[in-house]
Amino acid sequence: MSLARINALLVRHLYLYRRSVPRFLEIFYWPLLDLVVWGFITLYLAQQGQALHGVVTFFLGALILWDVLFRAQQGITISFLEEIWARNLMNLFASPLTAGEFLTATMALSVLKVSMVSLVMVIAAFVFYSYNVFLLGLSLIPFVLNLIATGWIIGILTTSIIMRFGQQAEVLAWGMVFLFQPISCVFYPLAVLPPWLQPLAWANPAAHVFEGMRAILLEGQVPFLHLGWATGLNAFYLLLMILLFHYTFAVCKDRGLLVRVGE
Partner 1 sequence: MTSPIPAIEVRHLTKRFGNFTALDDISFDLWPGETVGLLGPNGAGKTTTIQLLLNVMTPTSGSIRIFGLDLQRHRKTVLKHVNFSSTYISMPFSLTVEENLRVIAKLYGLSDVSRKIDDVIKKLEMADIRHKLTRKLSSGQMTRLTLAKAVMTDPKILLLDEPTASLDPDIAHKIKAFLKEYRNTAGLSMLYTSHNMREMEEMSDRIIFLQRGRIVAQGTVEEIVRQYGQRDLEAVFLKLAREQD
Name which of 7 and 48 has its Cβ closer to partner 1: 7
Exposure on the CB side of residue 69, measured as CA atoms within 13 A? 27
**207, 177, 204: which is closest to 189 by C-alpha?**
207
In whole angstroms, the minimum distance from the beta carbon of 49 to partner 1 comes to 49
Q: Does 247 bind partner 1 (CB under 8 A)?
A: no
Name which of 81 and 233 has its Cβ closer to partner 1: 81
Q: Where are the beta strands (DSSP E) in the chain?
A: none
CA distance 163 to 89: 11
Contact 210, 65 (CB under 8 A): yes
What are the phi and psi torsion angles at 177 (to 5°)?
A: -60, -30
In whole angstroms, the minimum distance from the beta carbon of 172 to partner 1 comes to 23
In whole angstroms, the minimum distance from the beta carbon of 32 to partner 1 comes to 24
CA distance 32 to 114: 13
77-106 residues in contact with partner 1 (CB under 8 A) are 82, 86-98
Q: Does 167 bind partner 1 (CB under 8 A)?
A: no
In whole angstroms, the minimum distance from the beta carbon of 3 to partner 1 comes to 10
Name which of 142 and 262 has its Cβ closer to partner 1: 262
**41, 35, 39: which is closest to 67 by C-alpha?**
35
Name which of 8 and 45 has its Cβ closer to partner 1: 8
The CA-CA-CA angle for residues 140, 143, 148, to 5°, reads: 120
Q: Does 47 bind partner 1 (CB under 8 A)?
A: no
Q: Does 195 bind partner 1 (CB under 8 A)?
A: no
Total residues at the site for partner 1 (CB under 8 A)?
A: 33
Q: Does 67 bind partner 1 (CB under 8 A)?
A: no
| Residue 26 CB neighbour total at 10 angstroms | 14
**7, 67, 61: which is closest to 39 by C-alpha?**
61
In whole angstroms, the minimum distance from the beta carbon of 105 to partner 1 comes to 11
In whole angstroms, the minimum distance from the beta carbon of 91 to partner 1 comes to 6
CA distance 188 to 207: 10
Q: Does 21 bind partner 1 (CB under 8 A)?
A: no
The site for partner 1 (CB under 8 A) is made up of: 2, 4-5, 7-9, 11-12, 15-16, 19-20, 82, 86-98, 250, 253-256, 258-259
